[in-house]
């Protein structure tokens, strides 16, 4: 009979308890196809920095281990330079499946709603970018007359704006579905398709503020959040400044004289639809717009509309020469103070050219309108 002494049992128990627990991966990648190269993981601080790499296991998976990962933005990188952007957090193991050679199109992410939402967001914005590229390429590739060029351009602008609105609705659905994932919310607000922002800092400002207030409480030391917080603070100053002439408000009355140094108040045109344009002779964009303006407003002037142009020039000769060269037979004023003009301060102008549509009661009906959108609003203003 074999006797087992109590101290032997105790020793076995102590040794067993001292063994390290089996580590579990926080990120597992299971890919289809013949991909066998290493995978790399980068973390976004002030920039993406590579923090780990792993080789393929015998079972055909890649596994990343880390006892403590910081919650934030990560990038899973492949040897062919393709990648997946992720939002990871401690204690949330994530599994990714898909075809390595078409990872963004085929990936399915389990265990991270934020990462899956980010992937869906990038796919939606990618579709918008493809549609914009196709529309503009088709538009620019044809030889068109000046009139046809404007018509096609306006049609393209309407299409792009329509697709941006559709995309915004899709992204808002993701924001609302994943309301607790505030890092995802920040990322969605910053999405752009080419040079087209999906969300408007002006129109969506309250949404920016709401996301920022939640983010900064939780991630006040995380560089991407710190940058977003600073941008929102600057945005708030800009919104406050430009709100001086927001649609729905009475048109401000800048004290700016005409070329004979006589007052020509905007209120003088009360009772008529009015198009106010702020411009400068040394602004290339202003001069391009001026050339379109003459033909654009011709049908409306015969129906009672007036055009009132405020120049931010400093030199009277340059101002008058531009009026003559561009054939601007409209009402003109300027205090010849450039960016220090009273108009800048009272209207909250941050760029030129800038347009304002003012109704018969002196209320601003629209601001910063161009092309097809401006024509549509001019039609509405004349009818009313």
Per-residue confidence band for 276, with pLDDT thresholds at 50, 70 and 90 = very high
> What is the pLDDT, as a whole number, of residue 148?
78
Counting DSSP H helices and E strands in the chain, the numbers are: 11, 15
The yes-or-no verdict on residue 52 having pLDDT over 70 is yes
The yes-or-no verdict on residue 7 having pLDDT over 60 is no
The yes-or-no verdict on residue 42 having pLDDT over 90 is yes
Mean pLDDT computed over 152-178: 92
DSSP H stretches of helix in 311-370? 316-325, 342-347
Mean pLDDT computed over 234-262: 91
> pLDDT tens digit string along 58-86?
999 999 998 778 999 999 999 989 999 99
The yes-or-no verdict on residue 264 having pLDDT over 70 is yes
Mean pLDDT computed over 310-314: 97
Mean pLDDT computed over 79-102: 92
Q: Is 366 helix (H, G, I), strand (E, B) or coil?
A: strand
DSSP H stretches of helix in 47-145? 103-106, 113-141
Task: Give 257's DSSP letter.
Answer: B
Is residue 272 within 8 Å of 304, Cβ to Cβ?
A: yes
Q: Work out the angle at residue 224's Cα, subtended by the Cα atoms of residues 222 and 229, and round it to the nearest 5 degrees.
A: 90
Architecture in CATH of 27-110: Sandwich (2.60)
> What is the pLDDT, as a whole number, of residue 71?
93
> What is the pLDDT, as a whole number, of residue 18?
47
Per-residue confidence band for 150, with pLDDT thresholds at 50, 70 and 90 = confident
Per-residue confidence band for 141, with pLDDT thresholds at 50, 70 and 90 = low
> pLDDT tens digit string along 348-377?
998 999 999 999 999 999 999 988 888 888
**CB proximity list for 125: less than 8 A, separation 6 or greater:** 167, 171, 191, 192, 193, 198
The yes-or-no verdict on residue 124 having pLDDT over 70 is yes
Q: Please give the share of the chain, as a percent, with pLDDT higher than 90.
A: 70
User: What's the CA gap between 149 and 377, in Å, rounded?
Assistant: 21
How many other CB atoms are found less than 10 A from the CB of residue 304?
11
Strands of the sheet containing 331-333, edge to edge, are 331-333, 306-311, 274-279, 354-358, 364-367
> What is the pLDDT, as a whole number, of residue 198?
95
Per-residue confidence band for 91, with pLDDT thresholds at 50, 70 and 90 = confident
Cα first-last separation, the chain: 108
The yes-or-no verdict on residue 114 having pLDDT over 70 is yes
Is residue 351 within 8 Å of 245, Cβ to Cβ?
A: no
The yes-or-no verdict on residue 55 having pLDDT over 90 is yes
> What is the pLDDT, as a whole number, of residue 194?
87
> What is the pLDDT, as a whole number, of residue 380?
87
The yes-or-no verdict on residue 90 having pLDDT over 90 is no
- Extract the tokens encoding 280: 């400068």
Per-residue confidence band for 156, with pLDDT thresholds at 50, 70 and 90 = confident
Q: Is 291 helix (H, G, I), strand (E, B) or coil?
A: helix
Whole-number average pLDDT of the chain: 90
Identify which of 62, 52, 64, 191 has the alpha carbon closest to the alpha carbon of residue 120.
191
Domain 266-383 falls in which CATH fold? Glutaredoxin (3.40.30)
> pLDDT tens digit string along 211-236?
999 999 999 999 999 999 999 999 99
Q: Please give the share of the chain, as a percent, with pLDDT higher than 70.
A: 93
Identify which of 207, 200, 235 has the alpha carbon closest to the alpha carbon of residue 367.
200
Domain ranges of the chain: 27-110, 117-245, 266-383
Per-residue confidence band for 21, with pLDDT thresholds at 50, 70 and 90 = low
Q: Long-range contacts: 118-122, Cβ < 8 Å, 24+?
A: 118/85, 118/86, 118/87, 118/184, 118/187, 119/84, 119/85, 120/174, 121/171, 121/174, 121/184, 121/187, 121/188, 121/191, 122/85
User: What's the CA gap between 13 and 277, in Å, rounded?
Assistant: 85
Is residue 129 within 8 Å of 194, Cβ to Cβ?
A: yes
Q: How far is CA 294 from CA 148, 193, 240, 371, in A?
A: 17, 32, 33, 13
- Extract the tokens encoding 284: 């290339």
How many other CB atoms are found less than 10 A from the CB of residue 310?
26
């Amino acid at each position: 009979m074999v006797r087992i002494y109590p101290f032997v049992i105790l020793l076995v128990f102590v040794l067993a308890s001292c063994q390290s627990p089996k580590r579990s991966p926080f990120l597992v990648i299971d890919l289809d196809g013949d991909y066998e190269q290493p995978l790399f993981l980068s973390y976004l601080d002030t920039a993406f920095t590579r923090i780990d790499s792993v080789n393929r296991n015998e079972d055909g998976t890649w596994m990343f281990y880390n006892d403590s990962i910081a919650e934030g933005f990560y990038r899973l990188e492949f040897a062919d330079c393709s990648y997946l952007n992720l939002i990871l957090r401690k204690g949330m193991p994530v599994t990714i499946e898909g075809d390595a050679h078409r990872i963004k199109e085929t990936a399915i992410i389990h265990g991270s709603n934020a990462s899956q939402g980010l992937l869906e967001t990038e796919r939606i914005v990618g579709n918008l970018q493809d549609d914009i590229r196709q529309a503009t390429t088709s538009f620019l590739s044809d030889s068109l007359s000046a009139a046809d060029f404007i018509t096609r351009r306006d049609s393209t602008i309407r299409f792009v704006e329509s697709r941006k609105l559709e995309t915004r609705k899709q992204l808002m659905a993701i924001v609302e579905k994943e309301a607790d994932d505030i890092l995802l919310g920040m990322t969605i607000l910053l999405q752009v398709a080419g040079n087209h922002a999906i969300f408007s800092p002006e129109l969506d400002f309250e949404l920016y503020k709401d996301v920022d207030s939640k983010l900064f409480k939780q991630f006040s030391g995380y560089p991407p959040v710190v940058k977003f917080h600073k941008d929102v603070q600057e945005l708030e100053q800009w919104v406050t400044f430009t709100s001086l002439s927001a649609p729905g408000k009475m048109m401000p009355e800048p004290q700016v004289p005409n070329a004979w140094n006589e007052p020509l108040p905007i209120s003088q045109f009360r009772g008529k639809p009015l198009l106010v344009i702020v411009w400068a002779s040394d602004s290339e964009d202003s001069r391009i717009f001026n050339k379109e303006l003459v033909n654009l407003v011709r049908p409306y002037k015969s129906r009672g509309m007036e055009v009132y142009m405020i120049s931010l020039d400093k030199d009277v000769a340059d101002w008058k020469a531009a009026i003559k060269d561009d054939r601007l037979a409209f009402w003109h004023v300027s205090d010849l103070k450039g960016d220090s003009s009273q108009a800048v301060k009272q209207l909250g102008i941050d760029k030129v050219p800038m347009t304002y549509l003012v109704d018969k009661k002196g209320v601003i009906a629209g601001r910063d309108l161009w092309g097809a959108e401006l024509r549509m609003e001019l039609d509405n203003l004349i009818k009313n």
